Structure 1
């Protein structure tokens, strides 16, 4: 009650235990940070406990000697500080907020007193056209990278179906410990204070679903891993960071070099984030069908975007892979980390994601349901899960139009869901660790995602709907003591002009009220 005369009767006091509210000299309520639970009964319980990230570049440019930290409130459940209390947005913060994104990798938005990111407003905020129209910036600077029309065909000699590096199972222990790279230790908690925003990658919340399973008569426990709580908004932040770490350790990535990556968008955001923090150049090559929001986020982080035709096969010179290979050949100091072959992709999920799931549920995991694109998530999680919980069943999810569930069926077709499925089997996908495959349609995926948003308040993306639809199918006949876990790869931010939009859904004959 900020305008109430009664408010004057209350004061704050601090002691060794935290803060307390005092009325007329009497302590009436203690306020101190709560320990973070292993898993949550609703998405609202995951609110708060946002980390502090130290700024490195911008303070130096202002000759500031002290330490400056920013509180990453966009890692709240709804994407902003407004999830805790309403705040007033001010226009003067726009320019500095954009610098925080581009130079520090902090995905912030403008608010009074601090630049704090509001995820549901990012589409408007980082759009240069909007900033130009509102006279917040005077001109638009966009760099482009277009490969030459003439090129050596040898540049395109590339096999994305083989893993770069060695990663084998020990026949005696049955553990996947024979690897050409050293594994990172498991980090059980996200640090409260971090040197930069990359520390906000990993340790995402596991939330138990309530209304959606109940409405379908499901008795077992269903949990979702909310990967949009990663620093860049998706599970791909994990692999982007790990691939950069491995390349730096191997000497393939050095200061002044440029990262190039063919991607459906989220890996591009993760790499752009890492490049912004570490000072690398970055060029992201993605098909035309990928959302405008993804491209805007990549550009806001200072990377360049190159678009390619949706119908170009992976081995075409004009596909996102072909264009990336040509650009790498033309640009001095450029390197493709290659999420389709890079061992850091599945390693990130073996080292961390799977361990987080196992830890949260104290080893009681009966099914994991994971969509496959590059296959790194399902491969890495499955390898670790099967080491520690051999009875756990791993279910892969593949969209109609993709061949990952059945490579012998070479028939492919266009589908709208982003970030899953391919017309080839990437080297990072080990199909032998997947027990069962389920197919999903665009209609099932988008309607399931909207239902999850509407009924559980979980702001997930379209491929999350694919996983949820498959997980519900698995859970339907399971007893009450079983635990089913699925991954929600990204959040709503990337799709505000797509499946979140009623008109977009209706044009495609998808229901906007299904399972209401």
Structure 2
């Protein structure tokens, strides 16, 4: 049955799917996909609850007021995104105070939501004047009708009881372990409170970064871990340590590598904190392999973040390598795809046919006939004076301009080509030199943003050929490098 049409995005929160992951030893592993909530985070549940409770207690109808009320949110990002999304139709002003580790993707999303952003140091203690919590308190004192939404001080965690009830129903109460990434502890505490009443034997496992001190308040925290929405350098009020049956620490490299593996191998589009939780559950399952009982255990992992908020970090191969966050397996896979499968081959090894070119004065009609006859998508345009590459025409572009009436068949391609000439000192289309000596690895990188490459000499004096991604794939197929 299709979900009903709703009046608000808030009505789409919850009832998230559960997916069976690859079993680990004697453990059946189920993933609760909390990142399928509207904003890509399980924090949607908490945001909806605390916003509704706030308005109920204050009897405040912001849409009927001329003056906006301000919500100040110390957050690692997700709660700010959730609250800003749900408050979009309620006439609130949102100020989010985020640590420096917060990804640029989430910063951009918060800005698009109209959120005002302040940054706080990663390593600062909560009582320090520059901490997110201290700054939030000062702002609330200065701004009229301002309220701090601080999840670390929450005691009412009813928001997560529905999540726990969904877990019970989806597993038919057959759950032995639940793994939860911990930052404020609100999610873990809320789930544990509910589940332990219904299933007394269930074990709730907290997952945190290696440098976090949640599992040991006296440990030394570096506070410079990369994984967002996990870990802390103090124990928040919202975390009930008595509800945690065990802790597992996970390194940044484990978290990011497992997240990438989940994306590639199982099509689960999760973020790094989800990778950390699955890494912890897998390690726990392997530790249980020494148990000689025949009982098969069932674990539930809470996947709290979506990869779409980490395009510049988790999804960037270059960023993973720069920050040493790819494990040996991921490194081998990425290096093979980007470098090793080309075996040091260059563009010359593609054995491209000689380039078919046209001068700028060629008619649009002739250019199109030539491309249709040869089954080309593009033609390089070569200067009639010095034979130097000056631009190119594409069949799709010419057809579109003809249909719109912007050009005629009798016009010359000079008037409608993509030009590499400079106008007033500015290159109209940035040109990247591709020569026969260019490595195929570099050519593949070029094709990530371009549909074809014009092969020239180093000085761009002679046009030697045209290459497409199809030529690259054909080469790999011939050499059986795919």
TM-score, length basis structure 1: 0.60
* Structure with the largest fraction of helix: 2
The answer for the alignment partner of 2:53 in structure 1 is: 246
Tell me whether 1:415 sits opposite 2:225 in the alignment: yes
Q: Which whole-Å CA distance do the structure 2 matches of 1:292 and 1:372 have between them?
A: 22
Shift of 1:499: 2.0
Q: Indicate conservation of the 8 Å contact 2:253/2:327, yes or no.
A: no
Are the structure 2 counterparts of residues 412 and 252 from structure 1 closer, same or farther at C-alpha, using a change threshold of 3 Å? farther
1:496 to 311, 323, 338: 311
SS in 1 for 2:147: strand
Tell me whether 1:226 sits opposite 2:33 in the alignment: yes
Q: Indicate conservation of the 8 Å contact 2:223/2:232, yes or no.
A: no
Uncovered stretches (5+) of structure 1, i.e. residues with no partner: 1-32, 34-48, 52-191
2:18 to 200, 203, 206: 206
Bigger shift: 462-471 or 218-227? 218-227
Q: Deviations over 1:153-188 (max 9, x none)?
A: xxxxxxxxxxxxxxxxxxxxxxxxxxxxxxxxxxxx
Q: Which whole-Å CA distance do the structure 2 matches of 1:380 and 1:362 have between them?
A: 19
The answer for the alignment partner of 1:347 in structure 2 is: 158
Q: Indicate conservation of the 8 Å contact 1:401/1:413, yes or no.
A: yes
Uncovered stretches (5+) of structure 2, i.e. residues with no partner: 63-67, 334-482
Bigger shift: 505-514 or 361-370? 505-514
Shift of 1:200: 1.0
Tell me whether 1:455 sits opposite 2:262 in the alignment: no
SS in 2 for 1:258: strand
Q: Which whole-Å CA distance do the structure 1 matches of 2:177 and 2:231 have between them?
A: 21
Q: Which whole-Å CA distance do the structure 1 matches of 2:221 and 2:13 have between them?
A: 37
Shift of 1:253: 5.4
SS in 2 for 1:343: coil
Paired residues, number: 321
Tell me whether 1:431 sits opposite 2:241 in the alignment: yes
Q: Which whole-Å CA distance do the structure 2 matches of 1:317 and 1:253 have between them?
A: 31
After superposition, the CA RMSD in angstroms is 1.8
Shift of 1:334: 0.7
Q: Indicate conservation of the 8 Å contact 1:407/1:425, yes or no.
A: yes
Shift of 1:234: 0.1
The answer for the alignment partner of 1:274 in structure 2 is: 86
Q: Indicate conservation of the 8 Å contact 2:278/2:301, yes or no.
A: yes
Q: Which whole-Å CA distance do the structure 2 matches of 1:253 and 1:443 have between them?
A: 46
SS in 2 for 1:247: helix
Tell me whether 1:475 sits opposite 2:285 in the alignment: yes
Q: Which whole-Å CA distance do the structure 2 matches of 1:225 and 1:294 have between them?
A: 22
Q: Indicate conservation of the 8 Å contact 2:154/2:186, yes or no.
A: no
The answer for the alignment partner of 1:80 in structure 2 is: none
The answer for the alignment partner of 1:193 in structure 2 is: 5
Shift of 1:305: 1.4
Tell me whether 1:487 sits opposite 2:297 in the alignment: no
Q: Which whole-Å CA distance do the structure 2 matches of 1:416 and 1:235 have between them?
A: 20
SS in 2 for 1:193: coil
The answer for the alignment partner of 1:141 in structure 2 is: none
Q: Which whole-Å CA distance do the structure 2 matches of 1:426 and 1:494 have between them?
A: 25
1:391 to 198, 201, 204: 201
SS in 2 for 1:203: coil
1:260 to 48, 72, 75: 72
TM-score, length basis structure 2: 0.64
Q: Which has the larger radius of gyration?
A: 2
Tell me whether 1:335 sits opposite 2:147 in the alignment: yes
The answer for the alignment partner of 1:311 in structure 2 is: 123
Q: Indicate conservation of the 8 Å contact 2:182/2:188, yes or no.
A: yes
Correspondence list, 1:50-199, <5 A: 51=3, 192-199=4-11
SS in 1 for 2:204: strand
Shift of 1:252: 7.5
Shift of 1:226: 0.8
Tell me whether 1:509 sits opposite 2:319 in the alignment: no
The answer for the alignment partner of 2:179 in structure 1 is: 369
Q: Which whole-Å CA distance do the structure 1 matches of 2:10 and 2:328 have between them?
A: 38
Shift of 1:394: 0.9
The answer for the alignment partner of 1:169 in structure 2 is: none
Q: Indicate conservation of the 8 Å contact 1:447/1:510, yes or no.
A: yes
Q: Indicate conservation of the 8 Å contact 1:231/1:237, yes or no.
A: yes
Q: Indicate conservation of the 8 Å contact 1:403/1:424, yes or no.
A: yes
Q: Which whole-Å CA distance do the structure 1 matches of 2:117 and 2:54 have between them?
A: 22
The answer for the alignment partner of 1:444 in structure 2 is: 254
Are the structure 2 counterparts of residues 321 and 367 from structure 1 closer, same or farther at C-alpha, using a change threshold of 3 Å? same
Shift of 1:412: 3.6
Q: Indicate conservation of the 8 Å contact 2:123/2:222, yes or no.
A: no
Shift of 1:323: 1.8
Q: Indicate conservation of the 8 Å contact 1:288/1:308, yes or no.
A: yes
Bigger shift: 300-309 or 196-205? 300-309
